[in-house]
Structures are given as structure tokens and as C-alpha cells.
Structure 1
């Protein structure tokens, strides 16, 4: 809004733009995926850019408190009308009771399907009482794995291989309608009660550069157009840059001289030769076993290369000017392309001309 001013707050505190850029994401409506890579490669690249090379013991799993917090939050999400599928290793009895639907698979068959509180009554009916001091989740897993004998067939028959829905409705807690979409406490979202996190990725800048370089090379190799167009565009420019080298001071046609004057690579080669063999460079040293060195005289070698009148600082200045001109031109064209209320006039004129010619031919 024009003329508006103020302060933007994030979670009750003034926004730190540097940290906010790491937290916020702009997601396009269309899927803008990296071309020429598979889904697995894209996921692995994303993981390599965020994760480090090692993993500590603290990051291998969640403790009981963190697991309880995650399960409670997921249960609230599930009561809001969403389906949550959770895989938890060796859950405690308290966490196991939080799950609404438990599905036990043994030998590729369904050994139990129902609620978590229904596990103990289900096993009691099969004459497999769970000890009071035992975790029901661990006990049913041990029974299904055959540690107490072969009871898998009996369990599969009791639930009819998952078709019997009797235990799906056992001891389901009916939540009041007002609690189905219960929101989190506002205090939990305030930054005063949440410790500030360090949003730096575990991957270093060097590792990120290596990952992005591998991705670029992989995309370049798989892009058939770039593999063909790259040499097709580069080879003529390189031939133009080296045209006339070794011909001495023989004059070249004016067309070739004008073309070489616009070659970025040509100025780079001339500047490199001037930096290495320019004055006050002494004559080169010939090996002892060689009687005559044709290119011992540096001035003669530079003249033979056709670069006797080359100046290092002139070539350096031209390279800097050409680089700035190309960058500024690209920046200007990009700004015109991104401007919502301003169209690039040259492109607009060319577009109208093409439309006029096409309509006249049709």
C-alpha cells in the first residue's frame, strides 16, 4: 500500500528479516521442478543441501517426552478431520493408548485390527493374557513373532484376516463436538515460551557448492539441446578469437578485424599474452643441449603472434567494460520483463510487426 508504514511482527516480536527469509517460502501454484532429474534425485539433493554428513545420537530418535508431545499434536490434527498415519518404534503403554487404530501384520496377514485399548481384551479371548507390568504393544509384537508359540493362525482367524470390525469400535472415546477442532493455546505460539532456534543448515557452504555443481553437470549432460548448442555456439567464437594468431603483422581484412574487436575471448588471450610476455620480460633461457632457440627473443615471439601492439591495461579495461555492459544489459532486460505495468517497447514493436505480417499473409 502506497504511503503506509509500520512494523511487522512475527509471533509477537518484530520481524528479523534475515531469519524470516530462512523461515518463509513462496510456493507457486504450478509445480516448478528442476528439469532432467528424477524424483528420487531431487529428494536426495534437497536432503544433501539441508543435512550434514554425520548424525549424532540425539538425532537418531525422540525421547519419551518429545514422542508424547508429537503424538498428542498428531491426535489433535486427526480429530480435526485429517488422516494421520504414524510409525513409532517401541512405544510406551501411555503412547500406545493414544492411537485410535492399530494394525498388526504377521507373515503378510492381519493379526489384529482395532483400537489400542482393545489389544489386551483381544489377547485374553485367545487365552494369551498380557501381564499387568507388561507393555501391550511389546506383548502383541512378541506373540505375533512366535516367542510364545504358534498363535498367528489363531489371531488371524479371530479377526478374519482384518475383515472383522469388532475391535475397531472397542473403547472409542467420543469427543465433544466443540473439541473436534480444538486449537492450540495461543501462549504456545508466542516466542516468549519458545526458545529461539538456529536455522543454519547442517550442510556447509562447500558441500552445498559440490551438490549444486553435481546437479548442474547432471542436468547439462542429460539436456541434449545444451550438449549440441554449447559446442555449436562456442567453437565459432573460439575460432574467431584465435583467427590471425601466428600470422605476424600481416594485415587482415577489415571484416575480420571488426569481428575480432567484438570478441571477448580475443581480448582475454591478448591480455594473457601481454601479462606473460610483455615488457620488461627478459629473453627466454634455452636448454644447454639446444644450439639455436628461435623464440628466445620475447619481442620476436610477440610480433610473430601478431600482438606486438597489444597493451595489457587496454585489454583489461575493455574486458571490464564489456563485462559491465553485458551485466547491465541483462539486468535492464530482466527488470523490464518483471515490471507488471511496463512492457519492453522494442519487444512490443517486434511483436506487433510479426502479428501484422502474419495477418497480411493469412
Structure 2
């Protein structure tokens, strides 16, 4: 077992003459015998692929020379191959009313085929991400040109169901394990037609293939960079999308992890998928792994074709790449103008089809894998290098293509089996997301334990400061300060954690929603319902401690009324924090949240009575939710016919509680009106937040 094993990637026939077979020589771990195949798991120090025992029909395109069997994800849903062609694609962004529009993409053309690993390259600002976002359907405003899928005009809603977009930053919920994240993805993306046992098989197969089985019980926050990247890919592989977009997949990874990542992408491409990724400046080793290059400069295409054709193309135009130079580095130097202004020259050469363009080669039929030929050894194999089945064996397909039914021409193939909506119902989405949010909340010690301890601790502190004053007529002013301090504490302690933590969830939501996991409504209702128990519990802990330490009236009804008012106030404040977090960045939210609360507090009725305000400002207290919370709590404690207070001094002016309410301009206040007003604020702010979500999603496009 000490000898080296040679494994090569077999190319489909259309690559013959343009791309050589790529050979990898690896040292297998101890204990491996013949019949072991490659899986995209991390190996030991060499950064290669770990050899694992897999079924004979596991992933097409990666072939063991000893066993001659392809590897496929045998339990994933079948998907047809997808070719993407774009013509005269132009994208502009507004720079203001006076400055007009800035054109980022300038009429680019190209075609990305299934079975190929395509790299979109170019200097910073060349339009790489813009092109990929436009092809993925994330950019639709100010976009002109044509995008065709398998020769037919792209229908955006359908295309988004057959594709996935894996962003540069791995947006993962930190408190879920790998297996839990995969199960949630399977439950959301595979739908009710797939049984629980079948989903389990799919999840286990993907985890084994990507080398994540050993860390299946590890939380995502404890994964390495390479493992996080592979988990992001695994989550999207659950429904086997035929088109996968990657934004800088090697960003932040070391050289070994970069090689593993691109090896995985190449294996996925050989499975019949269309893999498109942006990459800034790869090493020579990584550069040679790509099948197809699309290089941009100043929003225009300066090369499209094979990797091997790049250097001859540049040489034909007078740009000779030195033998010791990485072609990827050299073409970036040319694109940046280090060898003279030549972008126009390169663009015209591409338009005149002077580059080694794969479009010039005969396109392989989607059913090419069914053509049986004889190899040099006399064994029957398909034209794409996959061995022909023996008697009684199923016919292997590329990416699950059933050539006898012409899936490429059917709407069903593009719809992936779902004519409208998401794979699962809105109610099931809500249930899954609610469970996930509860689980994440319970495991987040900062969000849960610290909030509970802070409410209990501050409750004890406030109780000690105002100890035993609740029934003393000489200290009603101090008691009103205690009540106002409590309302204020609950307001800020509910608002600020939401402003700080929600943008993280917002990133996860954007990724999953745009990849068609679930609807905005399901996520938002699940988020709203998941917020209620913890925030209510924190408020109950605080109010219980303060109420009895300050000797407020020992009346169960009054206690429940105070509790209800404080919980409603905290929920409204949390809703406002959610609105700020949804509409702003963390930096802006930290400033705007407290700043917007200042006028709300000023018009709460504690600092200035309503009748003392100027006539033109007397409407402002009606839009302060803190006013309703403070007023309702005061009415609950001093209203509803409370008996006279005890007086610890010779004379107490506010021995009658009703007189104190009149002094605070709350003599005619009604508790139920304050409660209804807070419920109205809660519903109204949540509704506004929902529309802010929708606008942000629209702005992303």
C-alpha cells in the first residue's frame, strides 16, 4: 500500500484537442485496497483528495484507473444539464440625478456550458461580480441584453429554482451543528414528496462525499475555513442544482484548502453541472484546473476560451508571457495596462473570434454519455469516458439526465418539479424555521443567559435603590421615578441586542431566500414568534424582582396589569430594534437606535406634563410608545380606586393616589387604551419592518 496511485479526470469528447487529461498522484492512507474512489474530503498534509470507499455509481466524471467506475451522488434528484448563453449584456448603476449612469458591463457576450468549471477573472472593478450576479438573476434593474438557458429565453423565477449562489462570506448560523444544518436544508428544499428516510440518505451521502461526516456533530462556529466552505456547498447540493455560482470560493483559504475546494468544484462540474465562479488571481496550480476562462477588463471581455489557449492568444497579439510567469498574473498585468493600453485591442480580437474559444468546437449532445465506443484496452466505454454498463446494470447518465425523455425541452425539467412557489408549504417552512430559531436562541449564551442575568441583576439593583417605597405617600415621586426607570430599562435592553445580532441573521436570510429555501413571510413570522417567549421571560423576571422588592401593592390583578404593560413595552422596543437592524448596518443602527429614542422618552410624560407643552407640540406624546407604557403602569399601580397610602411624615400631599395621577396629568387615563395602543404599535412596527425587508430584497436586484 506504499505505492502511489494515479487518478485522472476523464474529459468529455468536446474537450479533446483543447484540454489534456489532468493527472493527480496521491499517497493513499493506510488500509486502502482496490475499489476505493476519490471523494472531495480533505487529506493529510499534501492538500489532495482523501480516498474513500464509495458505491460504484457515485460521481460521474472522476474515474479510478484501477476500477473504471464513475462516482455519482446516487440518491440526489435527477437534473438535466444547463447551458447559459448571454448576448449583449449591459448593466448600469445610477450615480445621482446630475451625474447620470455608470456602465459597468458593456455589451458582453459568452456561453458557459455544463460539465465545465468556468472562471470569471479580471482586475478589481472589471465587473466580475456584476456579471455573475446578472447571470444568477440577482441583478435585474438597469440590465439589458439577453440571457438564454439551453437556447430558450431565461425565465427568472424558474432559473432561480434550478441554480444556487454561494457567496464569498460563508453565511452560516453559528450555533447549529453540521448535521442539523443539513437536515434543515433537506427538509426545506426536498419537499413533502421525499420521505424522512430518503432525506437522511441524501444528507449522509453528501456529508460523506464532501468529507464532513466526521464533523457532523460540530457546531459551524467551530469549523475551519475549508470546512465552512464545503458545508456551504453541501447545503445547496441537497436538491442537486444543475447551475452553481461561487463568489471568490478560495477567499480566505490556504493553498491546500484552495486546491481541495477547486477539486471539489471540478468534481461537481464533471457530474454534469454548470459551475461558474469568480476568482481574482489564482496560483498557477489552481489556474490550470479550470476548463473555461472568461476574462473582463473595464466591463468588456478580453478573452474567453480554454486555459491552454490563453498564452497563444496573447502571443498572437504581441503580449508574450515569460516561461517562468504565471499566466493568470500576466493577463492581469495586461488587463491593468502595465504593458500599454491594450484593452480595446483585446476586445476587438475577441469579437473577431481570434481566441481559442470553446464556442468554435462542436458542442456535445446532452446525451453523449449514451454513445458506446471501445477504449484502447478493448473495454466498452461511453464517449465521455464513463464505462458502459454490464448486463443488467443501469445506464449511467451525466447529472441524472434521462436522454430518452428529452428533459432539456420540457418545462418540467426547468421547473424542477415545482410549478409555483417553494418546495415546501408556507406552514411547514414556518414550523422548521421556528424550531431552528428556538434552537439557535437556546444555544446562544450571550443572547439568552446574559440577557436573563442582566434583567435579574438590574432588577435587584433597582429594587435595592427603591426598596420598600411603593406604599409610602411621602415617596410617590421617587416611586414614579422607579417606574419610569423600569420602563426605560426594558426599552433599551430589548432594542439594542436586536440591533446588534439581527444583521447576522439578515445575511443568512438573504442567502437562503435568494437560493429559494423559503419565503419572506415564513421567515418573518417565525422570527416574530420566536422573539416573544425570551423577551417576555426577561421582562417577567425583571418586573417580579422589582415589584416585590419595592413593596408595590400586593394585589394579583395589579401585578398582572403591571407585568402586561412592561412586556408590551419591551416587545414594541424589540420590534423597533428589528426595524432598525433590518434597514441599517450595525454601525448606523447603534447610532440611530438610541438617537431615535430620545424624543420618544422626552414626550413620555415623566419629564414634562402634557398640558405644559405648547399647543403645536401636544400631538407628539401620542406617537411615543414609552408614554403609553409609563402611563399604563402608573394607572395600574395608583388607579382603579386604590386606597389611601401610608404616610411616614407629618404631612403627605399625595396621600390620595388619585390626586397624584391628576398631578401627573393622568387622572383621566384608561389602562385598556394604553394596552391597545401598545399592541397597535407592535403590529404597526412589525408590518413596517416586513416592507423594509421586501424593499431590501428588491434593492439587492
TM, length-normalised to structure 2:
0.23
Higher strand proportion, which one?
Answer: 2
TM, length-normalised to structure 1:
0.40
Higher helix proportion, which one?
Answer: 1
Greater Rg by CA:
1
